[in-house]
Structures are given as structure tokens and as C-alpha cells.
Amino acid sequence: MEHMINRKVEDFQVSAFAKGEFIEVTQEDLMGHWSVLFFYPADFTFVCPTELGDLADHYEEFQKEGCEIYSVSEDTHFVHKAWADASDTIRKIKYVMLADPAGELARQFGVLVEKEGQALRGTFILNPEGVVKAYEIHDMGIGRNAQELLRKVQAAKFVEEHGDQVCPAKWQPGEETLSPSLDLVGML
Amino acid sequence: MGMDNISLKSSLITPELEEQIKGVFAKLEHDLSLICIINPEDSASVEMAELVNHITGLSEKLSCQLYDSAEGKEKFPELDTTLLPATALYRQEHYTGISFHGVTGGKEMNSLIFAIYNASGPGQEMEKRIKKKLDKLTHKNEIKIFVSLSCHHCAQQVITCQKMAAECEAIEARMIDARLYPEMVEKYKIERIPMTVINEKEILLGNKNMDEIYQILRTYK
């Protein structure tokens, strides 16, 4: 299977539920800012509201990074609304919830389980040109962490702005000195 | 531990590594002193002192002088003795502008070996056009390169800056292992390395070539 890195999002048009309203979203809406497409299997399940709520709690931090979040499931926008009406966790969501009942988006990103009509838990980070820069795909029951996703968005942005000639630093005082390694090839 | 009890051998230098280093040091041209200022009670200081003892024992062109912080501060006012261990390269009792704060283990062993090679000669080749540019610098420039010992990009940045220091009296290039100095991490908000701070004002992230570094240095008159 071919990977998704550096693949540009293809044309799509789906309905969505956002801040109590029904809207249309196309690939054009993903341009000009960083985006996260956050696939999950279905509304009205138990793991999903936990991670969607986690994402809602961190939404402001994503926005500070200039990143929009789009959750995606294979439900209709009407089901998204019904779920928001029924769940306090979902009602607090301010990001856009895309409805993909025809599987158009899930198929494009390779996360559709055809015989179940549900999406795997796939997370895709797209740059302002709509190009995938990082992604992860979990099996149905394995949840994700919004804080870790935020770190990945920040890292993707950093690399785009500064190139890849840096290492992230996680300072841990008290570690032992590393054994030396010499690499003199071609430098003398 | 007292200054006299510091071993002449370092457990960081394996026999294989020793042979590699000897191969480079066989080419050295001029005498070089490694001044190592330490706190004898601090384990990182002792580790670096042993490393410098061991390394300088691999070539007749090299010598090692160990000092405690009080004596080092008095004898070498040009060095920053607030970040120990501090190791500096001197050619004919003249500071080359090349120094290291921390233990040059991990990838930074490359930086130390290249610094010695570049300061003693023959050194890595430098493009003539770059050398000409560096010769025009008059303002004293201080470059700090914050590193981590496991960062493969960091050593390259240190080697580049210290090569410039070896070729130009107006440049001082100091490697600083940020892990050892949390106050530096806090002061400069270091989250990614290599992070290069020029004259306490300009900050560069990642590897930069000599042209890019020169473009900043030339703005200081």
C-alpha cells in the first residue's frame, strides 16, 4: 500500500455540522491554513466522544497554531446534530464535524473499512497547500491523544518553516555522558 | 576528588576510537594547549578533565593544563568560567577563540577532534572567498552553539563555527552542552538544537553554512 505523505488532498464536497448549523465543506476550505482531518468510526459510540472531547478541550491551542480541525465520520450531518443534542461532550465542540456517508473522504485517505461502512481512527495533518505532512491510523478501539497531536502539528509547522536540520530537545538532567562516536568520512 | 587524582585515561575513549583519533593527530602541525577549567568535585568536570588528559596524550603536539575555577578565572579572564567544565584551545599561549562547555562525548567528540585539527593545522580547507570575507571582520563576535550530545546536526554546526574562529581572530565560537546548564535552557528558551546565538542578539536554528553565518557577522561593525 502506498503511503500518504506529501499527497495532496483531492477534490471533495461534503456536508458538515458546525456550531449548530449545517454547512458545505470542500477541499478549498482546507487551503491557506494547517488542517487536521480526524477520522473516527461512528457517532454514538463510547471511545469517540472521549477523544473528540479531548480535541475540543485543546481546540483553542490548535487555533493559536493556525490549524483548523475537521472531525470526519461516515454518519450524516443530521446524525452529528442528533449526537450533539444528546451529548454534553459533543455539544461543546466548536470545530467542524464533516459528514462522509458516501465514504468519499475516508476512501481518499485510505481509512474506510468498506464492509462495515466505518472509518478507522485516522489522523492526517495537512499543510496550507493541502498536502499531507504527517498521519497515523489506529484500529477502531485505540484512542488518540490531542496533546500529542498538537505537538505533531507544531513539529510539522516548525520543519516547514526552518527545514529539517534541527533536533527536538527534551532536556533530562542527570543522564550519563554519551559514548563518543567519530564520523570523519569526507570531512578531513 | 583533588586535581592531582584525575586519571590520565578516560573510559569514554575505546581502543578503536583511540586509533581513529591517532590517525587524525598524525597530521597535526603546530603545538596546541588544551586549557581545562574544572570543579574537581563535579562529576562532569572530572569526566572532561580525564577526556582531555587522554586525548592530549595521543599526540606530542598537544598538551593539557588543568585548573580549578579560582585559578582558571584569574589566569584566563578571556574565558567564561561560570559554565564548568570549560575547555579552550590555545596556540602559543594565545586563545584561538575555540572553547567547549561540557563533556565532549557523543557526537561532540567530532567537534573536539576537528577543532584541534583546525587550530593546529593543517585544518579543513576553507574557500578563499570565505577567508577573504572573514579577514574583513573587525568587530569581536561571540558565537554560542547550544547542543545536545546525541544531536547529529549539532556537531556539524559547532565544527563550522569553530572553523571560522580558527581562521578569524574576530570570532569566538563556544560549544555549550545545554543539558548540563538548565539555567541556559531557561534563559535562551532552548527547545530545539542546534541553537546558535550570535553576539547575544541573533538566533539561528539548525545547521547554517559559513555564508549564512557571515551575513550576520558582517552587520556588526
| Interface residue A186 vs chain B (CB under 8 A) | no
Mean pLDDT of A40-62: 87
Q: HSE on the CB side for B14, CA within 13 Å?
A: 9
Q: How many domains is chain A partitioned into structurally?
A: 1
CATH of the domain at A53: 3.40.30.10
DSSP state for residue B32 in the 8-state scheme: E
Residues A177, B109: C-beta atoms closer than 8 Å = no
ipTM of the complex: 0.77
Residue A175 has pLDDT above 80, yes or no: no
Entry field: residues in chain B = 221
Q: Does any domain span residue A113?
A: yes
Between CA B91 and CA A176 the distance in angstroms is 31
In a domain, A80, yes or no: yes
Q: Is A174 a member of any domain?
A: no
Would the CB atoms of B206 and A163 count as touching at under 8 Å? yes
Identity of the residue in B105, B113, B207 whose CB atom sits nearest the CB atom of A177 = B105
- Cα–Cα distance measured from residue B19 to residue A41, given in angstroms and rounded to the nearest whole number: 59
Classify residue B212 as exposed, middle or buried by CB count within 10 Å of its CB (0-12, 13-18, 19+). Answer: exposed
| Listed residue (A129, A146, A115, A124) closest to A53, CA to CA | A146
Catalytic annotation present for A48: yes
Tell me the domains of chain B and their CATH numbers.
Answer: 3-217 (3.40.30.80)
Task: Name the 3-class secondary structure at B58.
Answer: coil
Strands annotated E in B111-170: 141-147
Chain centroid to Cα A75, Å, comes to 18
Give me the domain span that covers residue A46: 18-160
Contact predicate B210/B171, CB 8 Å: no
pLDDT of chain B, 221 residues: tens digit per residue: 678 789 999 999 999 999 999 999 999 999 999 999 999 999 999 999 999 999 999 999 999 999 999 999 999 999 999 999 999 999 999 999 999 999 999 999 999 999 999 999 999 999 999 999 999 999 999 999 999 998 888 999 999 999 999 999 999 999 999 999 999 999 998 988 999 999 999 999 988 999 999 999 999 98
Say yes or no: A175 contacts chain B, CB-CB below 8 A: yes
Taking the CB of residue A48, how many other CB atoms lie within 10 A of it?
22
pLDDT digits (tens, 9 = 90+) for B40-70: 999 999 999 999 999 999 999 999 999 999 9
Residue B4 pLDDT: 78
Residue B11: how many other CB atoms lie within 10 Å? 12
B12, B24, B44 member nearest A179 (Cβ)? B12
Q: Where are the beta strands (DSSP E) in B92-200?
A: 94-101, 141-147, 171-177, 192-193, 195-198
B118 inside 8 A of chain A by CB: no
**pLDDT computed for residue A178 by the predictor:** 81
Query: Is the pTM here over 0.80, yes or no?
Result: no
Please tell me the predicted confidence (pLDDT) of residue B1. 65
Q: What is the mean pLDDT of chain A?
A: 90
pLDDT of residue B221: 83
Please tell me the distance in Å from B173's CA to the nearest CA on chain A: 19
C-alpha cell at B6: 584525575
Give the three-state DSSP class for B199: coil
Instruction: Note whether B185 contacts A181, CB cutoff 8 Å.
Output: no
Query: Could you tell me the maximum CA-CA distance found in chain A, to the nearest angstrom?
Result: 69
Closest CA to B11 of B49, B42, B47: B47
Among A118, A119, A93, CA closest to A38 = A119
Which pLDDT value is given to residue A188?
Answer: 73
Determine, for residues A168 and B191 on separate chains, whether the beta-carbon distance falls below 8 Å: yes
Give tens-digit pLDDT for A143-171: 899 999 999 998 888 888 777 677 777 76
Report the pLDDT value the prediction gives residue A158, as an integer from 0 to 100: 81
Partner B contacted by A185 (CB < 8 A) = no
Better pLDDT: A43 or A140: A43
Catalytic residue among A16, A36, A48, A69: A48
Q: How far apart are CA A53 and CA A47, in angstroms?
A: 10
Q: What was the pLDDT predicted at A48?
A: 66
Name every residue whose Cβ is closer than 8 Å to that of residue A119 and which is 6 or more positions away in sequence.
A39, A40, A41, A72, A73, A74, A100, A106, A111, A112, A113
Question: What residue of B is the nearest CA neighbor of A183?
Answer: B110
Residue of A nearest to B113 (CA): A182
Residues of A in contact with B114 (CB under 8 A): 187
State the best of B45, B148, B158 to mutate against chain A, taking most chain A CBs within 10 Å: B148
**Residue B82 in contact with residue A155, Cβ under 8 Å?**
no
- State the alpha helices, DSSP H only, in B57-122: 69-75, 108-120
pLDDT at A161: 78
Mean pLDDT of A131-140: 94
| Closest residue in A to B28 (Cα–Cα) | A188
